[in-house]
Amino acid sequence: MKVLQNNIDDLNLELTVEIEASDYAEILRKKLAECRRKADFKGFRKGMVPASMIQRVYGEQCLVEAVNQVISKALDEHIKENDLNLLGEPLNSEKQPELEWKAGNDFTFIFDAALSPKVDFEVEKSDTVPSYTVSIAAKDKTSMEESLKKYYEEKKEEKSDEDIEKEVSERLENQFKNEAEWRLNKDIRDYYVQKAGLTLPEVFLKRWLVAANGGKVTQEDVEKEFPGFAEDFKWQLVRGFLMKKFELKVEEADIREAAEAYVTYQYAMYGIGNVPKEMVDEAVVNVLHDRKQVEHLAEQVEDRKVIEKLKESMTLKPTKITSAKFRELK
């Protein structure tokens, strides 16, 4: 067997796998023998079904499995030997010739593949993004004061105008402080995604997204959501690069801390506060047993660590802005 690589451009490539009958013959023999050993046909003792009958019933299935096993091994070895950093998995090419699945035949398979774009840039102190301080407009306060007055009146709770004004100020300050922090983190991500200047193999990625989701999404779905996916994907590549550049790691303790924060937040969403530690610990154990949840938490930890390091390494320009102008930011 051999694999031929044709580089279409800097990111896209074509892999042709050529397989001779001798490459899969022994694997096929073992698979047919295993089928014969397990076959239970009326009129024959188990394991004594004629080989010709096994070949007729299971021959093509075993041949496909044997050839796919050889293909998988050939591609894996080629990718490792050539240090290819692929995006997703190779896909069957539209150039693939029609095959005659017959034992003893040689086979040729053509796959489309794409390389992950190389990320390489320096983080410099001259890198600058605005760090907003939001001044709250009088109409924001007035609107919330009116809502709170109505709320307390309906609950028949007495609150002085001074108490309401204080509560409004605290709420709005916290609200805009959190929103400004979210905005800062977003601007930092966007800044370095733009600085990395990454180009993605979009045609391949769109095909791969449809194939990888096993029919759960259509090409139309992918086209619609792709711009957002592309930006998130570029950030994942940049974040991975910066994790290595800054020599950052996600430790087990980081995941547990993130799980505890997630569980506490979930309880708070249902209005449950001061949750006993035993309940939190039990819920955390359940979260940590969910592989997808752990992967998601690990990404959150990576985000936090990378953003914190970038804030130390770049310039955050203090910028005052009105609440009205802040809302207009994209």
CB neighbour list of residue 119: distance below 8 Å, 6 or more residues apart: 196, 198, 237, 238, 240, 241
For the segment 274-306, what is each residue's pLDDT rounded down to a tens digit?
888 999 999 999 999 999 999 999 999 999 999
C-alpha–C-alpha distance, residues 219 and 200, integer Å: 18
- How high is the pLDDT of residue 45? 77
Same domain, 231 and 105: no
CB neighbour list of residue 171: distance below 8 Å, 6 or more residues apart: 144
Same domain, 85 and 134: no
C-alpha–C-alpha distance, residues 75 and 64, integer Å: 16
Tally of domains in the chain:
2
CA 180 to the chain's CA centroid: 26
Same domain, 309 and 241: yes
Same domain, 107 and 135: no
Count CB neighbours of 113 within 10 A.
Answer: 24
For the segment 177-229, what is each residue's pLDDT rounded down to a tens digit?
999 999 999 999 999 999 999 999 999 999 999 998 887 889 999 999 999 99
Q: Are strands 128-135 and 107-114 parallel, antiparallel or unpaired?
A: unpaired
Same domain, 108 and 183: no
Alpha-helical segments (H) within the chain: 21-38, 51-81, 138-154, 161-196, 202-212, 219-245, 252-269, 277-288, 291-313, 323-328
- How high is the pLDDT of residue 46? 79
pLDDT of 97 higher than 80: yes
Same domain, 202 and 247: yes
For the segment 112-123, what is each residue's pLDDT rounded down to a tens digit?
999 999 999 999
- How high is the pLDDT of residue 270? 84
Residue finishing a domain among 66, 90, 114: 114
Range of the domain at 195: 128-328
| Global pTM value | 0.83
